[in-house]
Amino acid sequence: MQESSAPIRFSEIGERLRAFRMGRGLAPEDLAGRLGISRAALYRAEKGQIPKIETLTRISDVLGVSLPTLLGVGIEYVDTAIAFFERMRQLEEMSHQIVGLFGPISYLLTSDTYDATLREVLIEGITETGAGRAQALQSVETLMAVLAARKAAYRQKRPLIASLVSSADIERFLLHGLVGRHDLLPETIARRRREARAETLAIRDLLRDPPIGVQVGIVRETIPATSFQIFRQPDRAVLAISPFRLGEQPNVRVGAALITSAPEALELHESIAQQLWQRAFRGSEGADYLDDLIRRYGMAAS
């Protein structure tokens, strides 16, 4: 992720190795076997104790990623949701502030009920049968475990969060709820919409009475199609741009995200975030705006 002139961080090489291994659905012993090394040696590698460049080359070949991506040189490309969200967990652990445009709100601020519904939605979106379905179900469980670890780490550490929320995302969320496909029973759709209403009310409460370290802004204008997050750490900032979504119609199946510390990319997205933040509804104004959206698009509470 660093520029080529930046020092290579061996601990982060190990973190990327772990994330890509998880993204490929490989258990530690499976990858160790393919590499012809012991499980203990792989464990040390995932801790950043990598003695030879030849080992890294073999790892990158087996995982199907480039050596520069594994090293974090230039741009790191991530082609699975599991690997991407594991990388988010790793970056969040080192961050004191997170700025993001990620619908319907920063995942770290969602409720535990949201997690339960998201798992249900991801399962209902599986189209494979037989062995393919079993593998897809295991991927959902792995992803949910990664997301749970992210949320638990956030609640323990409490980095500052500035979450930009798209008004259009909230409208769609209220109209449809979380859905994995469009042939759901009417009672399921109604339940999902009621859950979306409850989650949006929680976002409104964050605006009206924000916890320490949490800022939320409602963006009314057209926003980028892809989400982005900026992780501010003591000695650098890191940008993640992603097509993976955990909102109204989740996408955890297809896409390629990128992670970088390139100054130009960071400056451009810092500028975008600042412009959106300046024009966003915040505080009581934002809460009133969400109340209006809930009245117009939300499912009545049962």
Q: Where are the domains of the chain?
A: 1-70, 74-297
Instruction: State the CATH architecture for 74-297.
Output: 2-Layer Sandwich (3.30)
Dihedral angle sign, alpha carbons of residues 66, 70, 73, 78: positive
Amino acid 54: pLDDT: 84
| pTM of the predicted model as reported, rounded to 2 decimal places | 0.90
* Bridge partners, residue 166, by sequence: 219
Give the integer Cα–Cα distance in Å for 114 and 107: 9
For residue 278, give every residue at least 6 positions away whose Cβ sits within 8 Å of its Cβ, in sequence order, or none.
none
Amino acid 253: pLDDT: 87
* Fold match, 1-70 / 74-297: no
Provide CATH code, domain 1-70.
1.10.260.40
Amino acid 7: pLDDT: 59
Give the integer Cα–Cα distance in Å for 220 and 175: 17
Amino acid 198: pLDDT: 96
Region label for 145, one of left (φ > 0), alpha (ψ between -120 and 50) or beta (otherwise):
alpha
Structure tokens belonging to residue 171: 């409208």
The answer to whether the bond into 7 is cis (omega within 30° of 0) is no
227 touches 169 (CB < 8 A): no
pLDDT (tens, 9 = 90+) of the chain, 302 residues, equals: 444 445 567 888 999 999 999 999 999 999 999 998 899 989 999 998 876 788 889 999 999 998 888 888 889 999 999 999 999 999 999 999 999 998 889 999 999 999 999 999 999 999 999 999 999 999 999 999 999 999 999 999 999 999 999 999 999 999 999 998 889 999 999 999 999 999 999 999 999 999 999 999 999 987 777 899 999 999 999 999 999 999 888 999 889 999 999 999 999 999 999 999 999 999 999 999 999 999 999 988 76
